[in-house]
Copies of this chain bind each other. A is one copy, B any other.
Amino acid sequence: MLLLSGGLDSTTLLALATSEDYAVHALSFRYGQRHATEIAAARKIAAAYGVVQHVVTDIDLRAFGGSALTSSIEVPKDRPVDQAHDIPVTYVPARNTIFLSFALAWAEVLGASDIFIGVNALDYSGYPDCRPEFIAAFEQMARLATRVGVESEGSDSQVRIRTPLIEMSKRQIIETGVRLGVDYGMTTSCYDPGPDGAGCGHCDACQLRLRGFAEAGLTDPAAYAIEASA
């Protein structure tokens, strides 16, 4: 089970899982995000990596409001991304909890024990549900929540939330992906892309991504609406 957003991180994650010979089932969400071009990217990427199955499921996080990614609150631009410990308006309440819960449901049906998620606690936007302590608590809960969890507790096949990117810098993620042959031109990261899917170059996600490529001494092959600087 792998959560695939169509972004840089989850695509690197997919390349990693594939390189370790996992038979990947990929899950993506249409959750009312303003950057729905993600879904088109996710479909292309899932096909390119030959996943066993790719499910795109609809959930309506707009019913609750509260985030710039799903409502009319404006996406902040040119925010200093190093002030990482406040929680910005682009935070979607409990998003990773919800995503992982669906992944857990599917893992339960498949009998899968490994759930991959591309969270990152280093070059990130200060979301509480990207931190290692959250992931550890979710894993603990998952082992008590499900049939596969209860029946495999303590065994080698117990439920594991796999986060190989969690301690990597954006630069390290990009270098890992490049080594595995990832075409980052297929991926999209922007929180507020243009109608053609081009990145704005100024939201947190674009800033972190562009800085990662710059630090790796590489040029980001993704399209940007305007000339963007790292």
- Are A93 and B66 CB-contacts (below 8 A) given A137-B141, A144-B128? no
Which chain B positions have C-beta within 8 A of A106?
63-64, 93
The residue in A60, A61, A63, A140 that gathers the most chain B C-beta atoms within 10 A of its C-beta is A63
A72-93 contacts to B, CB under 8 A, are 87, 91-93
Number of identical monomers bound together in the oligomeric complex: 2
A113 to chain B, nearest CB (A): 14
| In the complex, residue of chain B having the shortest beta-carbon distance to the beta carbon of A102 | B98
> Does residue A120 face the partner (Cβ distance < 8 Å to B)?
no
Question: How many interface residues does A have (CB within 8 Å)?
Answer: 42
Residues of B within 8 A of A137 (CB): 137, 140-141, 144-145
List residues of chain B with CB within 8 A of the CB of A57. 59-60, 63
Residue A156 interfacial (CB < 8 Å): no
Q: Is the CB of B108 within 8 A of A147?
A: no
Q: Report yes or no: A93 in contact with B146, Cβ–Cβ below 8 A.
A: yes
Chain B min CB distance to A65 (Å): 6
**Chain B residues within an 8 Å CB radius of A140:** 137, 140-141
Which residue, A57, A105, A106, A145, has most C-beta atoms of chain B within 10 A? Answer: A145
User: What is the CB-to-nearest-CB distance from A149 to chain B, in angstroms, rounded to a whole number?
Assistant: 7
A47 lies within 8 A of chain B by Cβ: no
* Interface check A95, CB cutoff 8 A: yes
User: Is A184 in the interface zone, CB < 8 Å from B?
Assistant: no
Q: From A144, which residue of chain B is reached at the shortest CB distance?
A: B134
Q: Please indicate the chain B residues that have their CB under 8 angstroms from the CB of A66 in the complex.
A: 108-109
Bound complex: CA A106 to CA B101 (Å): 15
With known contacts A63-B55, A144-B134, A146-B129, A104–B109 Cβ distance under 8 A: no
**A93–B147 CB distance below 8 A:** yes
- CB<8 Å pairs between A and B, sample of 11: A57-B59, A58-B60, A64-B108, A87-B147, A94-B105, A94-B145, A95-B105, A97-B104, A128-B149, A137-B141, A138-B145
* Interface contacts beyond A57-B63, A93-B146, A98-B101: sample of 5 additional A-B pairs, CB < 8 Å, sorted by A: A93-B105, A93-B109, A94-B102, A97-B145, A141-B141
